[in-house]
Structure 1
Amino acid sequence: MNVTHHRTAEIDGIGIFYREAGPADAPVVLLLHGFPTSSHMFRNLIPALSDRYRVIAPDYPGYGQSAMPDRAQFAYTFDRFGELVDGLLDRLGVTAYAMYVMDYGAPVGWRLALKHPERITGLIIQNGNAYDEGLKEFWDPIKRYWASGAEADRKALHVLVTPGITKFQYTDGVADVSRVSPDNWVHDQALLDRPGNADIQMDMFYDYRTNLPLYPSVQAYFRKHLPPTLIVWGKNDTIFPADGAHPYKRDLPDVEFHLFDTGHFVLEDKADEVFPLIRDFLDRKISKSSR
């Protein structure tokens, strides 16, 4: 088993933590995490891939072990996250990579793909949105905040960073909750509870509105470049339901499409089913890609 290294690089003055494993000259797989977690969500996938791939999993600012700069000096936006991940890849000398995108990782990854379409060797999409159909009832309170910008609507979203909702994200739609480690929500909640972090999350909820105008460009990228794509999606997810998975077929006719009987965090209870699919996809589609 390859060793996973835990490192921090200063990118634009911000400490960006990342996990890295695998041969330095192997094809790169970039793992982009979602909310409310961090690269911790990939702790089991990394060793499952790193015998053959160079795996890189960063934490965004305010998440995991990366720096949490003051909101007065740092803009918590998806644009900024994309710039910092791009800067990290430049620092690491990475010029071609497959992307695993999940939840917030999707809009971060789409920005990278739009900026550097020639660098993307493949996509693995897990409950990450690129279509209007994917934003259902769960998003209604967030959309109200987008529309109003009002403090009352912002405060109403604070429930989304409470322990009950953090646990819900891991357990909702899961048939056998005993397969999901409770360390997940304990770990995530401890980081959400840091002084000032709740306001960072509210900023990110508000900035999510900037992703929707990008969807046509992202879909055009799919149609033009036809990146090899694997979808591994929890079909019982309340946040990003399967309504958001099916539209990928319109723009990616050769997509390898799999829905699983689980919720938001597919890797937690379906790793035994998902990991072999990911390995097989990467081995067929990007194992000979340029580094």
Structure 2
Amino acid sequence: MEATFETDVSSSFSYTLYRAKVLGLEMAYVDTQPGKAKEDIPTALFLHGNPTSSYLWRNVIPHVSPIMRCVAPDLIGMGQSSKPTNMPYRFTDHYTFLSTFINTVIPSGPVLLIVQDWGSALGLHWAYQQAELSSTSPARVLGIALMEFVRPFPSWADAALPKEMEKAFKGFRDPLIGRKAIIEQNAFVEQFHPQGQLRGMTDEEREYLGRPYLDQQSREPIWMWTNQVPIEERPSDVYDIATRYHDWLLQCEVPKLLLWATPGILVKREQAQWYLENLKNVEGVDLGAGLHFLMEDHPRAMGQAIAAWAKKIVQDEE
């Protein structure tokens, strides 16, 4: 496969990080229209995964911000957000903070979700919860753009990870091997993460992404995320949550945009094709060559695709 990707990707993060008080702690976030927090305007909510931050979306947001307000938080314990030492950082912990963050920073108005990795699980669970509430309040989910998304995997074979990655993730879930690799040796940040994009990382990108995880305590969220992947019905609570939002995703009429690349990691070409055939009200974009962090290899193509799709949705709503 020809390794094609955009070659002029900026490493610079030009956004101001605002801070919201959430359950007594602070969550850092990008907000392109901070003065509009109390207005019922469409907001694009960008949600990152492990082990990244709002920095992941730095080259995608500029394409979407002319159309609507854009908000991109750093999940609790990650990026520039607070890093409490007494939190287990399970999925449910992250969801409690994220849902409270949304109620604080985007208290009303329609939300367009743009999600990847664990951001997809959190965002889809929130969307499902909003659908459950929509009979008594206005529906808030304007659309869902998803890529490399987390769903329930009945088995490791269903996850279809590359052999070496499957071996690594099985090791990460071991309380001794995994903790040593991620907490003590910082393997996920320094070795595993850079392997998720084709073009490699610049020194500036490595420094920015690694800065929140310089000490062992700060790596607790990274290790816990690897233990939360819903595979073989474990962990049972996360697997049940993922099953519910995935079932809802397959039957709901909310507009969807699926972006994928080849070979991909969580969403390969064959999976993308299946979802294009089975999701309702979906459009698809093949970005070309890519692995897991598609916005690092194809930010312009991704941003333009999301912007064009979002513009149509907003116009339809008016």
Is the 2:50–2:225 Cα contact (8 Å) retained in structure 1?
A: no
Is the 1:61–1:68 Cα contact (8 Å) retained in structure 2?
A: yes
Instruction: State yes or no: 1:197 paired with 2:208.
Output: no
Matched with 1:20 is 31
Query: Which residue of 123, 127, 149 maps to 1:109?
Result: 123
Q: Percent identity?
A: 19
Aligned pairs (5 A) from 1:101-250: 101-117=115-131, 118-132=139-153, 133-136=158-161, 137=163, 138-143=165-170, 150-156=175-181, 160-170=187-197, 174=198, 177=199, 181-209=202-230, 210=235, 211-238=238-265, 241-242=268-269, 244-250=271-277
Cα distance in 2 between the residues matched to 1:109 and 1:206: 19
Cα distance in 2 between the residues matched to 1:95 and 1:58: 18
SS at the partner of 1:235? strand
SS at the partner of 1:34? coil
Cα distance in 2 between the residues matched to 1:233 and 1:201: 24
Matched with 1:51 is 66
Structure 1 spans left out of the alignment, 5+ residues: none
Is the 2:46–2:71 Cα contact (8 Å) retained in structure 1?
A: yes
Cα gap change, 1:64/1:242 in structure 2, threshold over 3 Å: closer, same or farther? farther
Q: Letter of the 2:253 partner, please give it.
A: L
Q: Letter of the 1:10 partner, please give it.
A: K
Shift of 1:182: 4.3
Structure 2 spans left out of the alignment, 5+ residues: 1-13, 132-138
Aligned length: 278
Shift of 1:40: 0.5
Cα distance in 2 between the residues matched to 1:103 and 1:115: 19
Is the 1:104–1:128 Cα contact (8 Å) retained in structure 2?
A: yes
Q: Letter of the 2:49 partner, please give it.
A: G
Cα gap change, 1:190/1:236 in structure 2, threshold over 3 Å: closer, same or farther? farther
Is the 1:169–1:265 Cα contact (8 Å) retained in structure 2?
A: yes
Shift of 1:264: 1.7
Cα distance in 2 between the residues matched to 1:245 and 1:212: 21
CA RMSD of aligned residues (A): 2.7
Matched with 2:46 is 31
Cα distance in 2 between the residues matched to 1:160 and 1:259: 30
Which TM-score applies when normalising by structure 2?
0.77
Query: Which residue of 62, 72, 76 maps to 1:61?
Result: 76
